[in-house]
Amino acid sequence: MSALFTRTALACMVALSACVAAGAVQAKAKPRKHSKVVPDKAPDVVIYGQREDVMRFAAEAAARRELDVDATRAALAQAKYIPSVARLIMPPPAGTAKNWGAYRSRFVEPVRLKAGAAFWSANEAWLRLAEERYGVPPEIIVGIVGVETIYGQQMGSFRIIDALATLSFDFPAGRKDRSAFFRDELENYLLLCRQQGVDPLSWRGSYAGAIGMPQFMPSSILAHAVDFDGDGHIDLHNNPADVIGSVAHFLSNHGWQRGMPTRYDVSVPVDTAQRALLLAPDILPSFTPQEFAGHGAVLDESGKAHPGKLALVELQNGDAAPTYVAGTENFYAITRYNWSSYYALAVISLGEAIKRQRPPLASEPVPAPALPASAPMAADPVAAVPAQSPASAPEPAASAAPASLPASGVAPMPPAEPASR
């Protein structure tokens, strides 16, 4: 057991003794299955150390992940129910108008443009290396980190263990229950802390439990984060090299194709039935350029030559006409980071705007940093899930609140909703 876990366990023995005396039972662990958790009705105060269902989860999670059971129980005993987390995970009120223009303006704005240019200049060698290794261009990586946390300025203020415990054991009524997803993330978080020697009470992030500059969910750190500078440690809070490499690796693992555009301009069919047919698969690329044309959609010249399938993506603009793009497999890969077409186009738009304002390339190329032959990956990879926002990303409202670390972070949050993630 690590020293940090040991200290946490000793600090909580008194609180836990009450649970044991009350007869909390450790259920026999069943791999990859969780006990049914029946949340209390919107409690204002919850002491998770006194909840039998939580202590049973702790025992089962410890057995599945080979964690110390006492340390796991001790950590969860100090987790707190956070009412604001339960509120923030809820979708916008029904009937709230979506507005791409308003959403875009939250992210393509002076603060992010200035900070993004500085981040790009300071980390140009790492960005070039990430493109060389994974095929993801700098503007996409810079766009993601800017939308998520303004390059580390807003990484979230919620204790990760509190956010994940709240959504695991007291997921709010009124939306699709995703408590099982968050229990998996809580389990992965405890494993991650054990692997990195981190006190599980110390890390902070978004209301959905996303972590660091790129706002990765714990499972995404385990599966996709890389030690890109080869220093023997993965640090997504303070090490831009690891952040850049991990974002690129995540996209590569989710189907990013080197050299492929993210989207093309398109004129939609006048016939509403044909338009509806093209829109039916949503953001999943499902039609060849020839099929687009057959349904009355007109692509630009480069789009007509696209070798793969495309998706007709509609972004609403309140009372104005929608914006349409033909999304490629790379557009879809970005939505695996956060399940929202608005998010994907905001990332693309911010990155391209920063790229346009950068000075011309210097005549002398930036030397690539010295690295091991291949950047080592995080141990114990788990099934791929969206990096950041977990809940199905609610599309932006016409009058969206400022981006403040949502399901991913410390004070303010990223766009849309928490996920992948």
Q: What is the DSSP string of 314-383?
A: EEEETTEEEEEEEE-HHHHHHHTTSS-HHHHHHHHHHHHHHHHHSPPPPSSPPPPPP--SSPPBPSS---
Q: Mean pLDDT, the chain, as a whole number?
A: 83
pLDDT on residue 43: 57
pLDDT on residue 406: 40
Query: Catalytic residue among 131, 139, 148, 329, which?
Result: 148
Burial class (CB in 10 A: 0-12, 13-18, 19+), 89: buried
Residue 327 above 70 pLDDT?
Answer: yes
Residue 263 above 60 pLDDT?
Answer: yes
pLDDT on residue 175: 87
SS3 89: coil
- Residue 367: band (very low, low, confident or very high) from pLDDT cuts 50, 70, 90: low
- Residue 326: band (very low, low, confident or very high) from pLDDT cuts 50, 70, 90: very high
* Cα(229)–Cα(12) distance, integer angstroms: 38
Q: Are 413 and 406 in contact (CB under 8 A)?
A: yes
Of the ranges 10-19, 40-49, 242-251, 287-296, which one carries the lowest mean pLDDT score? 10-19
148 catalytic? Reply is yes
pLDDT on residue 94: 81
- Residue 95: band (very low, low, confident or very high) from pLDDT cuts 50, 70, 90: confident
pTM (2 decimals)?
A: 0.80
Of the ranges 176-190, 384-398, 401-415, which one carries the lowest mean pLDDT score? 401-415
With CA atoms as reference, report the closest residue to 418 among 336, 335, 338, 345.
338
Residue 130 above 70 pLDDT?
Answer: yes
pLDDT on residue 174: 85
Residue 204 above 70 pLDDT?
Answer: yes
pLDDT on residue 374: 42
Token pair 């909840």 is at which residue? 51
